[in-house]
């Protein structure tokens, strides 16, 4: 290349006019997002045992946000403020922690649409909705008659339903029975939650199934629309030493659920309404005060009484993941103990049902013949296949836990194209849109369980490692290129990603003060006040750069319960204020512009206690402080507050 031409090409590339063929760029160039530019994708990674959802930019791997979902979050007061406590209410009372596994973006016509992202909680079975205008958890529904919700929260292509299922079968309904009588008493449930209306999440129905462990799910699309598929293991029905006793059989099942058929049975009254109690928590847009609604029953479908609602597809061996190809034609099981990757054909399954090619029946559920439904077995793929995603070009990528790699292949031809290594012990993997009808492809993110020496040591606990690969070139002839190691929070099981251009324009900047329907809102400093109701004191407080009104409060006594209702009266983007008071046994509040949040405080000793803004909001942020005086319980002090330059305190009548 002539030097002058080289220079011209360099400037053209730098100006973004010409893009070099993808493999010509180094990994560093491919993940570098220069100042002034933004990432191309939002990626949402579950936090596993941290109960949260992390938001990263791709390809940079920058951590943008942590969204609290099932765990309290002292950073912004989620689960601590009076407005958010009810989000974590369950039939077992308030639970401050959860175990998140599978985020799933809402879809329209099988394509992620950026309205919401759902995520499940395994330990105390629940499903949450996160609104992607505000990146906040706005709704959580509890799942009754379940012992661990793992096969969740997978959506139908129209977001009509999201799934849930019992990972650990339990006595249903719960009762005191000998564990040894597992086979007699323990059952599973497959749950369909109506999810397309915010604020109205509802359990549409539960299907009562044999007491196996139901592990993962994905719903059909295109030709397989109307069906969802759930893996099961422990069809041995072991209740002890499962690592041996639940690994006896060569094949377990994928349960194919015809939810359209289930809807018919419901419409025809072929169900049993069962009494129970579970929480539905919702934080509406106007008051932004979370409330718990107690639901009192669910509809059970018994497969015997609704023939055609469930079929079992034999699948080798203790399958974990189940994934449906973008065209909706194939169902891939991740037989974690199998030597092959089984690929079932939806068309064959429908024919096998028509022709009654059954190999038996359990509790009214026909078992289809393996040969009749299997499209092919991908031979010698790897060790420990778990989860599969798709690039939208006819290729599947399956993570392999034991051999620590990803195998990629043509799923129609059942032909392996190659492997890429992972460091180490990969779990889920993610391609943007990779479980939808139209994957964006471009990147592959395997998420690993073990890190060892990938990062600087941080004591006994190391971050999980994600590894970003470039798959923008067709993997038929170009090997995925390794780009970046990404340190992750908690244990990301699954993840989703969506182009930034879909989400970013909808991202909300402020809450409009005029539309704030919190009953304790204070819209201007003139409206600030302190109100006593017996032993309850309500402080109606405003926050704006760089002061609180009021900033001196007297007349509070030991024995009072004080509610600081703080309204951030700013209307500018990116100006939150924080609020914390000395000795409060709770977290701080982080109040967004136009929002009201409430901190509850029970002072225990007389004294004068400072409160202050915890978020550096202006050059005079350090001055954003106040005092609250606490007098003995029997004090006869007037009740008063102050803000401003005058000497007088406002006396409250």
**Can you give the binding site for ligand CUA, defined by CB under 6 A?**
577, 613, 615-617, 621, 624
In DSSP terms, 563 is beta-bridged to 538, 600
Member of 427, 432, 439, 446 binding ligand K7E (CB under 6 A): 427
Q: How many residues bind ligand K7E (CB under 6 A)?
A: 11
CB of 487 to ligand K7E, least distance (A): 17
Member of 493, 557, 577, 629 binding ligand K7E (CB under 6 A): 493
Q: Which does 616 bind (CB under 5 to 8 A by kind): ligand K7E, ligand CUA, none?
A: ligand CUA
CA distance 241 to 264: 40
Q: Which does 127 bind (CB under 5 to 8 A by kind): ligand K7E, ligand CUA, none?
A: none
Instruction: At 484, list the tokens.
Output: 């970046």
Contact positions with ligand K7E (CB under 6 A) in 60-79: none
**Checking DSSP bridges between strand 443-448 and strand 464-470, what pairing results, if any?**
antiparallel
CB 329 within 8 A of CB 347: yes
Q: Which does 329 bind (CB under 5 to 8 A by kind): ligand CUA, ligand K7E, none?
A: none
CB of 572 to ligand CUA, least distance (A): 12
Q: Which is nearer to ligand CUA, 334 or 593 (CB)?
A: 593
Extended beta strands in 422-526, E state? 426-430, 443-448, 464-470, 481-488, 495-499
Q: Which is nearer to ligand CUA, 87 or 599 (CB)?
A: 599
CB of 574 to ligand CUA, least distance (A): 12
Q: Which is nearer to ligand K7E, 151 or 349 (CB)?
A: 151
Q: What are phi and psi of 651, to 5 degrees?
A: -95, 130
The contact mask relative to ligand K7E for 86-115 (x = CB under 6 A, - = no) is ---------------xx-------------
CA distance 548 to 551: 5
Which sign does the torsion angle of CA 430, 434, 436, 441 carry?
positive
CA distance 566 to 528: 10
Q: Which does 613 bind (CB under 5 to 8 A by kind): ligand K7E, ligand CUA, none?
A: ligand CUA
Residue nearest to ligand K7E (CB): 427
Q: Which is nearer to ligand K7E, 218 or 375 (CB)?
A: 218
Q: Which is nearer to ligand CUA, 287 or 546 (CB)?
A: 546
Instruction: At 531, list the tokens.
Output: 């109100």
Q: Which does 150 bind (CB under 5 to 8 A by kind): ligand K7E, ligand CUA, none?
A: ligand K7E
Instruction: At 503, list the tokens.
Output: 């989400």
Q: Which does 493 bind (CB under 5 to 8 A by kind): ligand K7E, ligand CUA, none?
A: ligand K7E
Q: Which does 320 bind (CB under 5 to 8 A by kind): ligand CUA, ligand K7E, none?
A: ligand K7E
Contact positions with ligand K7E (CB under 6 A) in 293-352: 320
Task: State the distance between the two ends of the chain, measured CA to CA, in whole angstroms.
Answer: 86
**Checking DSSP bridges between strand 625-631 and strand 552-557, what pairing results, if any?**
parallel
Which region, left, alpha or beta, applies to residue 273 given φ > 0 means left and ψ of -120 to 50 means alpha?
Answer: beta
Q: Which is nearer to ligand CUA, 270 or 621 (CB)?
A: 621
Looking at residue 25, the DSSP 8-state letter turns out to be S
Q: Which is nearer to ligand CUA, 193 or 613 (CB)?
A: 613
Q: Which is nearer to ligand K7E, 446 or 578 (CB)?
A: 446
Query: Which residue in 329, 330, 353 sits closest to 341, CA to CA?
Result: 330
Which sign does the torsion angle of CA 544, 549, 553, 559 carry?
negative
Q: Is 494 in the site for ligand K7E (CB under 6 A)?
A: yes
Contact positions with ligand K7E (CB under 6 A) in 240-279: none
Q: What are phi and psi of 502, to 5 degrees?
A: -80, -40
CA distance 417 to 497: 25
CB of 428 to ligand K7E, least distance (A): 5
Q: Which does 72 bind (CB under 5 to 8 A by kind): ligand CUA, ligand K7E, none?
A: none
In DSSP terms, 112 is beta-bridged to 107
Q: Which does 621 bind (CB under 5 to 8 A by kind): ligand CUA, ligand K7E, none?
A: ligand CUA
CA distance 245 to 180: 14
Query: Which residue in 535, 556, 543, 538 sits closest to 606, CA to CA?
Result: 556
Q: Which is nearer to ligand CUA, 249 or 621 (CB)?
A: 621
Q: Which does 102 bind (CB under 5 to 8 A by kind): ligand CUA, ligand K7E, none?
A: ligand K7E
CB of 141 to ligand CUA, least distance (A): 35
Looking at residue 597, the DSSP 8-state letter turns out to be E
The enclosing H or E element of 6 equals helix 3-14
Q: Which does 544 bind (CB under 5 to 8 A by kind): ligand K7E, ligand CUA, none?
A: none
Q: Which is nearer to ligand K7E, 101 or 577 (CB)?
A: 101
Looking at residue 352, the DSSP 8-state letter turns out to be H
Q: Which is nearer to ligand CUA, 450 or 575 (CB)?
A: 575
Q: Which is nearer to ligand K7E, 495 or 562 (CB)?
A: 495
Which sign does the torsion angle of CA 241, 243, 246, 248 carry?
negative
Which sign does the torsion angle of CA 65, 542, 589, 616 carry?
positive
Q: Which is nearer to ligand CUA, 544 or 630 (CB)?
A: 544
CB 604 within 8 A of CB 584: no
Q: Which is nearer to ligand K7E, 129 or 150 (CB)?
A: 150
CA distance 455 to 565: 44
Q: Is 280 in the site for ligand K7E (CB under 6 A)?
A: no
Member of 85, 126, 129, 150 binding ligand K7E (CB under 6 A): 150
Q: Which does 428 bind (CB under 5 to 8 A by kind): ligand K7E, ligand CUA, none?
A: ligand K7E
Q: Which does 617 bind (CB under 5 to 8 A by kind): ligand CUA, ligand K7E, none?
A: ligand CUA
Q: Which does 624 bind (CB under 5 to 8 A by kind): ligand CUA, ligand K7E, none?
A: ligand CUA
Q: Which does 95 bind (CB under 5 to 8 A by kind): ligand CUA, ligand K7E, none?
A: none
Assign 3-class secondary structure to 143-165.
CCCCCCECCCCCECCCCCEEEEE
CB of 18 to ligand CUA, least distance (A): 46
Which sign does the torsion angle of CA 217, 232, 393, 479 carry?
positive
The enclosing H or E element of 371 equals helix 370-373
Instruction: Give Cα separations from 583 to 539, 587, 628 (angstroms).
Output: 17, 10, 12
Q: Is 216 in the site for ligand K7E (CB under 6 A)?
A: yes
Contact positions with ligand K7E (CB under 6 A) in 342-401: 386-387
CA distance 229 to 215: 10
Q: Which is nearer to ligand K7E, 312 or 494 (CB)?
A: 494
Assign 3-class secondary structure to 202-248.
EEEEEEEEECCEEEEEEECCHHHCCEEEEEEECCCCCCCCHHHHCCC
Contact positions with ligand K7E (CB under 6 A) in 619-638: none
Residues engaged in binding ligand K7E (CB under 6 A): 101-102, 150, 216, 320, 386-387, 427-428, 493-494
């Amino acid at each position: 290349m002539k030097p002058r031409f080289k220079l011209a090409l360099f400037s053209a590339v730098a100006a973004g006019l010409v893009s070099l063929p993808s493999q010509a760029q180094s990994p560093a160039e491919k993940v570098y997002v220069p100042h002034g530019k933004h990432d191309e994708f939002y990626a949402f990674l579950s936090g596993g045992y941290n109960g949260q959802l992390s938001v990263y930019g791709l390809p940079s791997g920058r951590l943008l946000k942590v969204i609290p979902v099932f765990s309290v979050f002292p950073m912004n007061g989620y689960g601590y403020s009076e407005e958010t406590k009810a989000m974590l209410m369950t039939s077992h009372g308030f639970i401050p922690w959860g175990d998140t596994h599978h985020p799933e973006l809402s879809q329209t016509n099988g394509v992620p649409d950026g309205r919401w992202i759902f995520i499940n909680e395994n330990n105390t079975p629940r499903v949450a909705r996160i609104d992607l205008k505000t990146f906040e958890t706005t709704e959580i529904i509890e799942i009754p008659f379940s012992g661990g919700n793992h096969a969740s929260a997978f959506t139908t292509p129209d977001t009509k339903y999201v799934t849930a299922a019992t990972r650990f079968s339990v006595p249903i309904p719960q009762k005191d029975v000998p564990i040894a009588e597992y086979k007699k008493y323990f059952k599973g449930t497959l749950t369909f939650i109506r999810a397309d209306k915010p604020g109205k999440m509802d359990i549409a129905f539960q299907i009562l199934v044999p007491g196996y462990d139901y592990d993962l799910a994905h719903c059909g699309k295109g030709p397989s629309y109307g069906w969802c598929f759930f893996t099961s293991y422990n069809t041995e029905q072991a209740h002890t030493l499962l690592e041996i006793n639940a690994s006896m059989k060569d094949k377990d099942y994928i349960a194919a659920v015809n939810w359209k058929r289930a809807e018919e049975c419901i419409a025809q009254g072929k169900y049993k309404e069962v009494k129970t109690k579970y929480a539905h928590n919702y934080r509406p847009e106007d008051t932004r005060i979370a409330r718990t609604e107690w639901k009192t029953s669910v509809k059970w479908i018994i497969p015997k009484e609704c023939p055609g609602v469930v079929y079992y597809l034999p699948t080798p061996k203790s399958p974990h993941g189940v994934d449906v190809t973008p065209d909706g034609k194939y169902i891939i099981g991740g037989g974690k103990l199998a030597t092959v990757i089984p690929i079932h054909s939806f068309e064959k399954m429908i024919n096998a049902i028509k022709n009654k090619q059954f190999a038996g029946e359990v509790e009214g559920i026909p078992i289809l013949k393996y040969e009749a439904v299997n499209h092919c077995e991908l031979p010698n793929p790897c060790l420990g296949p778990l989860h599969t995603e798709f690039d939208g070009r006819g290729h599947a990528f399956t993570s392999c836990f034991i051999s620590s790699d990803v195998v990629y292949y043509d799923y129609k031809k059942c032909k392996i194209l190659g492997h890429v290594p992972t460091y180490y012990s990969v779990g889920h993997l993610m391609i943007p849109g990779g479980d939808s009808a139209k994957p964006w492809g471009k990147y592959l993110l395997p998420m690993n369980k073990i890190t060892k020496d990938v990062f600087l040591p941080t004591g006994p606990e190391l971050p999980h490692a994600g590894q970003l690969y470039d798959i923008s070139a067709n993997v038929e002839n170009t090997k995925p290129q390794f780009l970046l190691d990404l340190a992750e929070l908690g244990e990301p099981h699954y993840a989703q990603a969506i182009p930034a251009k879909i989400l970013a324009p909808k991202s909300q900047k402020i809450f409009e003060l005029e539309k704030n329907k919190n009953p304790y809102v204070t819209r201007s400093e003139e409206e600030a006040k302190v109100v006593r109701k017996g032993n309850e004191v309500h402080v109606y407080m405003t926050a704006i750069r760089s002061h609180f009104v009021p900033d001196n409060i007297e007349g509070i006594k030991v024995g009072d319960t004080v509610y600081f209702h703080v309204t951030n009266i700013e209307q500018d983007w990116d100006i939150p204020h924080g609020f914390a008071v000395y000795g409060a046994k709770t977290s701080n509040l982080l109040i967004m512009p136009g929002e009201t949040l409430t901190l509850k405080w029970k002072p225990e000793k007389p004294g004068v206690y400072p409160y202050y803004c915890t978020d550096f909001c202006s050059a005079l942020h350090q001055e954003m402080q106040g005092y609250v005086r606490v007098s003995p319980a029997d004090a006869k002090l007037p009740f008063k507050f102050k803000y401003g330059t005058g000497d007088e305190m406002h006396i409250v009548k």
